[in-house]
Amino acid sequence: MPTDPPPSASPSREAELERRVRRWRLTSLVLAVVTAFLAVVVAGQLSGPPAAPTAPPEAGDTATRDTAPEATASGAVPDLARRVDGDPMAVGAVDAPVVLIEWFDYRCPFCAAHAVRTLPLIVDEYVDAGLVRIEYHDVVFFGDDSLAAAVAGRAAAAQGRFHEFVEVLFAAAPSSGHPDMPRERLVGFAEQAGVPDIATFTADLDDPALHEAVVTSTRAAQRLGITSVPFFVAGGSALAGAQPVETFRLLLDEKVAAAAR
């Protein structure tokens, strides 16, 4: 049967993060406008064609977008780490010096890129070394199929196969766009991920408690001002986008060193 959803952060910590994230978003918007203007000026001076614009997100339950690799920012934010032993949506020692928190949507191509290209290196270099713990928050930003996939992820988590399920799903993701997630495909991912009881997994796809847990997680992210994924928080700093591993190394090395002082 499904496990209880991970505990949420305290209201005061959430309120502080919301203020700081909204401040970051305003700053990022100004920077984005300036950058776009400069890009147009430069493009007009070059002989080559301009870069293709980013496609708008699909219409879904919420207004949002994927966060491209170049969309990045950092700033002081409070720690929202759960640090619950046995948390099925976390990996790494519960007492690791640093907790890296990720918000993601199962249909987000940049979330998939991070999971495939960068996450294994972070796990190898930091998580397995006991330096970093990663805690996940699922969100629904791309419609009903995102909700179905998130429920499936929690159904896999109830049987101890959350990470394997996410790995299989993102490995099959296209390089762009938001893939369909019909039930038969989710069951196939569960089988590939080694979920032991597929009948229970399939039944859990209709569990109202799992649906509500995903909706609650999404609303909590929106209250914090998080409308782009992937989005990360570690040791008081925020990082947006499918950044290269070098960017994460800079962030995590700084936070690990600070925790050791």
Higher pLDDT, 82 or 49: 82
Q: How confident is the model at residue 158 (pLDDT cuts 50, 70, 90)?
A: very high
Residues 6+ apart with CB under 8 A from 129: none
| Distance from C-alpha of 211 to C-alpha of 183, rounded to nearest angstrom | 14
Looking at the structure, give the CATH architecture of the domain made up of residues 11-260: 3-Layer(aba) Sandwich (3.40)
Residues 6+ apart with CB under 8 A from 253: none
Instruction: Write the pLDDT tens digit of every residue in 44-75.
Output: 322 333 222 223 333 333 334 565 554 445 45
| Closest among 74, 118, 87 to 240, alpha carbons compared | 74
pLDDT of residue 35: 35
The pLDDT of residue 32 is above 80:
no
Terminal-residue alpha carbon distance, the chain: 43
Helix H or strand E segment including 234: strand 231-234
pLDDT of residue 2: 47
pLDDT of residue 146: 98
pLDDT of residue 236: 87
Q: How confident is the model at residue 16 (pLDDT cuts 50, 70, 90)?
A: low
The pLDDT of residue 42 is above 80:
no
Which range is least confidently modeled, 44-53, 121-130, 202-211, 219-228? 44-53
Q: What mean pLDDT is reported for the chain?
A: 81
The pLDDT of residue 192 is above 80:
yes
Q: How crowded is the C-beta side of 179, counted as CA atoms within 13 Å?
A: 21
Evaluated on CA atoms 227, 30, 233, 20, the torsion sign reads negative
Mean pLDDT score, 155-176? 97
Mean pLDDT score, 135-158? 98
Mean pLDDT score, 199-225? 97
Q: Map out the domains of the chain as residue ranges.
A: 11-260
Higher pLDDT, 7 or 174: 174
The pLDDT of residue 181 is above 70:
yes
Q: How confident is the model at residue 154 (pLDDT cuts 50, 70, 90)?
A: very high
The radius of gyration of the chain's CA atoms, rounded to the nearest angstrom, is 19
Higher pLDDT, 20 or 148: 148
Mean pLDDT score, 37-41? 31
Whether the upstream peptide bond of residue 230 has omega within 30° of 0, thus cis, is: yes
The pLDDT of residue 43 is above 60:
no
